[in-house]
Amino acid sequence: MKAINVRRTHITLHPDRKRVLARPFYPTNDQRAIRICTQVMALPESEVQTLLKQVHADFGERHLKIREFLRRRFDQVRSWLHLNQKLSEEREMLIGAYFTHEYSFEAAALFNPSVVPHPDQSHLPSGSLRFILSLRATGEGHISSITFRTGFLDTNNNITINEPTRYNLEPAQAPNAFYERGLFERKLKELGQVGDFSRKVLQGLRPSFTLEELRTSVTCAVKQSQARDQETEAAARKILTLAQSNYEVQFPPDSRLS
């Protein structure tokens, strides 16, 4: 076997607790969420505008598309309001802000680096290579995230890591992403979850299917099952959990890779 010469570099990747993202805040129970909504609904419109201006002053320059994010958060928590009246745009965004928090996703650790060539190799000196670096970050509450950085390798094998963004947004989960039935069945086999029930579920699916179509097929298989016991219900949960653990995400086109 040919020997490989390995040279240690001076580069050390450190976790940066100042790197934060805006992400949904989920109260511990519905009662707390309803109480928050009730308190914001009780504010006069003038105070709503004052508080929202303060939110934009503190966070408007920190996060991309923060207004769209707050509107999306309001749509996600609207059900806790229990009313049909039209609210002002300012009040909707303020409610969204009350259900948003900043999260330091590298606060605890940064590890497991992996490198692949960047698809864009333009505007580089001859002999250089631009790359994408993925890492596992562990943040507050020991929640793990996949994070990215970019860099390049020059003709003398010197490595440069580009400065990452400080303020970030989570990607949106792609709606109606398609699953391949053959691949999904292989994953079930790897998990030891192939049996009469799973085969019945798969028979009701097209070669490519969505999560909603899978839910429908699972529901039909449960209804048709002669033995509707805990084992059947557990198999149904595991099939849906597998699907929900594999999904596509979408980043804004104008965002940096980091």
Residue 191 has phi, psi (to 5 degrees) of: -90, 0
Percent of the residues in the chain that have a pLDDT greater than 90, as a whole number: 65
Question: Residue 104 and residue 80: Cα distance in Å, rounded?
Answer: 27
Query: Which residues share a beta bridge with 115?
Result: 133
pLDDT value at 228 more than 80: no
pLDDT value at 186 more than 70: yes
**Listed residue (108, 110, 145) closest to 21, CA to CA:** 145
Question: Residue 50 and residue 101: Cα distance in Å, rounded?
Answer: 19
For 7, 114, 118, 160, the CA distances from 130, given in Å and listed in that order, are 20, 14, 5, 9
**Listed residue (109, 108, 116, 122) closest to 149, CA to CA:** 116
**What is the number of other CB atoms lying within 10 angstroms of the CB of residue 44?**
8
Question: Residue 44: how many CA atoms within 13 Å on its side-chain side?
Answer: 2
Confidence of residue 10 (pLDDT cuts 50, 70, 90): confident
Q: DSSP letter at 200?
A: H
**pLDDT score for 140:** 85
**Listed residue (2, 63, 3, 73) closest to 36, CA to CA:** 73
pLDDT digits (tens, 9 = 90+) for 54-102: 999 988 788 878 888 899 999 999 988 877 788 999 999 999 999 999 9
pLDDT digits (tens, 9 = 90+) for 197-218: 999 999 999 999 999 999 999 9
pLDDT value at 226 more than 70: no
More confident residue, 84 or 42: 42
